[in-house]
A and B are shown apart, each in its own frame.
Chain A
Amino acid sequence: MTKLTLSRGINEGLRKALENDPKVLIMGEDVGKLGGVFRVTDALQKDFGEARVIDTPLAESGIVGTAIGLALRGYRPVCEIQFDGFVFPAVDQIVSQLAKMRYRSLGKVSLPVVIRIPCGGGIGAVEHHSESPEVLFAHTAGLRVVACSDAADAFTMIQQSISSDDPVIFFEPKRRYWDKAEVDTAAGVAGALPFDQARVVLDGADVTLLCYGPLVRTCLESAAAAREDGRSVEVIDLRSLSPLDMDTITASVRKTGRCVVAHEAPVFAGLGAEIAARVTERCFYHLEAPVLRVGGFATPYPPSRLEEHYLPDLDRILDAVDRSFGY
């Protein structure tokens, strides 16, 4: 076991994938010599060469479009989109091409492409560098959408994503890149939790708190604070946003009777809306309160001096938990 940052955990996972399968490629802007703006691909080009770790021209549609072509040729490209807000030029290639190819070809074509996207706010960045577009991709059939929240999970989830024969949108919480966790880089992924399953990261009895990516740590902090008030909060890291692991969610909510969903993305038509509807259908007679949501407002992402108000923090999440007990 080694203590690694989340960024390093992904890096080690990418390294393993490159070692294990000669068809794996890394491609994106600045992923080579620089090692990516967050250093997630640090030293990979040096060790695996320019043919496998490809510094591309600066155009996101081109990155994803050529990755599709490489996948048609039998490669397993891992694309880096430098920031969340820069994925939109690639949306046709992701939504209309990548996601639909298996379906269009009646199963004759697989596109094992991973698209890594650093996401979310909290680093004081300029606009277009702090967004949470996951629901756009979760809404698109044919894509798998996952979000890692710590180094250990990131290490295995990136490898599982690369092994998947489906296209995967892989969200990385950029403000957690520097958070450290114990990672067993010697272990394979065989024993790891499948990347389409949620994980109960904290057992609790009174309320279920669902989260993913950057808010997992925040929710754990909220749960610790709630514990002081005598409330036992169960925290679930969803990990997979599409498909959703409804079995894990349902089991928890049937136990606690209360459910709060937290995400950075706007609450309106966010993932929480889908979860609330499904939890209501499945747990109607177990619920003590409506499923509540806490997240970004129905605004564009604000200037960074205001992001502390926009991002759900420990207190806003606790407030939502409190409201859940008001019914």
Chain B
Amino acid sequence: MTVESGAATTAAPLLDQPAPDTPDQTGEFIQLLTPEGERIDHPDYPLDLPADDIRSMYRDLVLVRTIDTVAISLQRQGELGIWASLLGQEAAQIGSGRALSPDDMVFPTYREHGVAWCRGIDPVKLLELYRGVSHGGWAPEEHKFHLYTIVIGAQTLHATGYAMGIQRDGADRGEAVIAYFGDGATSQGDVNEAFVWASVFNAPIVFFCQNNQWAISEPLEKQSRIPLYQRARGFGFPGLRVDGNDVLACYAVTQKALQAAREGQGPTLIEAFTYRMGAHTTTDDPTRYRLASELEMWKLRDPIERVRAYLVRGGLADAEFLAEVDAEAKQVGARVREACRNMPDPPPLALFDNVYAEPTTLLREERERYAAYLDSFEEAAGR
């Protein structure tokens, strides 16, 4: 008997078919401040922040953007090897970062400069990594802010394990964990494993995904056929989408999700819908893969402009305040620039330090031999 293959004659080649359900890029999200700076209410996220807090958020947004701009310049001037810009993602980071309580623990990617700012980490410390003088070097427990993780998604498992530790330390600790990652990371096995673990152990964790639309050159439809926040449902915990360029909404949803985690209600996935306005890093050239018009559209949704508009229109900030913030930004930028340029290289033999709790015989031997080798040049030079 011969079996006729219908597919060969009737179906288009598989690769030409569009995915039946591409991710919804225009769908609704939780928003409390429109791009025009209009304050709107959301029934699930009532928020009544004092004007001081909103002014302070504005200050944070401006300062981290300034630091970012300075860092890009420093890279261009050869002072940094590379920089991963947060341009466009300031609200997602400052909003979520300010929602943390001092005891909450953060597990960042390598782009969380705004969250680092909220945790009191000196921006100069962040530059150490990109200048190549250390792999990080701040004290994670002191700031409750783990080292930057470069391998995509790996930190989500660390965060989940840390949250399991909180559970084991006792239920009344009132602590939660937040794991940052991007849209590309949602394809990683580690992120999916973290979702599984957090779900079955009901771990006190918030998964904060900044969907900035681009994983280097790959748009979201290369990662997912459904909106990312909907992934959570399959893992058995709530997922929601927030306007990632709205600092107030990011603050409100993160605060609520963290509180749920602290109260034993388990994980939440937050998809902060935002946009990477700059290049992936200073080595990237986004003009090769995306249209300038897309960037222009997102400029209209700028995370800082809307806060400024809201503050000014509502009479919550005057020209003097705005000028003060700008002046402070200038100062901070100058300090960071200066500190970066003056940052010394570590001494050569430091490369042997901190491999093990105590140096092994092998390391001691290699260190001694290399020290003698270096000394031989000094001797040859007659010093």
Q: How many chain A residues have a CB neighbour from B under 8 Å?
A: 47
B196 in contact with A57 (CB, 8 Å): yes
A284: CB under 8 A from chain B?
no
Q: Which residue of B lies closest to A77 (CB)?
A: B161
B355: CB under 8 A from chain A?
yes
A109: CB under 8 A from chain B?
yes
Bound complex: CA A137 to CA B135 (Å): 21
Q: How many chain B residues have a CB neighbour from A under 8 Å?
A: 42
A62 in contact with B196 (CB, 8 Å): yes
A70-108 CB mask vs B (1 if < 8 Å, else 0) is 111111000000000000010011001100111111111
The minimal Cβ–Cβ distance linking A100 to chain B, given in whole angstroms, is 8
B135 in contact with A104 (CB, 8 Å): yes
B139: chain A residues at CB < 8 Å are: 105, 108
A103 in contact with B354 (CB, 8 Å): yes
A65 in contact with B161 (CB, 8 Å): yes
The answer, among B168, B189, B353, for a CB contact under 8 Å with A89, is: B189
B161 in contact with A67 (CB, 8 Å): yes
The answer, among B141, B168, B361, for a CB contact under 8 Å with A75, is: B168
A126: CB under 8 A from chain B?
no
A121: CB under 8 A from chain B?
no
Q: Which of B33-41, B54-62, B66-74, B152-160 contacts A (4 or more CB under 8 A)?
A: B152-160
Bound complex: CA A71 to CA B137 (Å): 18
Bound complex: CA A104 to CA B353 (Å): 10
A118-151 CB mask vs B (1 if < 8 Å, else 0) is 0000000000000000000000011010000000
B140: chain A residues at CB < 8 Å are: 72, 105, 108-109
A66 in contact with B357 (CB, 8 Å): no
The answer, among B158, B189, B362, for a CB contact under 8 Å with A72, is: B158
Residues 181 to 237 of chain B near chain A (Cβ within 8 Å)? 189-190, 193-194, 196-197, 200
Hey, which bits of chain A sit against chain B, CB under 8 A?
Answer: 25, 51-52, 56-57, 59, 61-62, 64-75, 89, 92-93, 96-97, 100-110, 141-142, 144, 164-166, 196, 243-244, 246-247
A-B contact pairs, 6 of them (CB 8 A): A65-B157, A65-B160, A70-B164, A92-B154, A103-B355, A106-B137
A70-B168, A92-B151, A246-B362 provided; 9 other pairs, C-beta below 8 A? Answer: A57-B196, A61-B157, A66-B161, A69-B160, A70-B162, A72-B162, A92-B154, A106-B136, A108-B141
The 7 closest A-B pairs by CB, nearest first: A69-B161, A65-B157, A73-B165, A66-B161, A62-B193, A104-B135, A107-B354
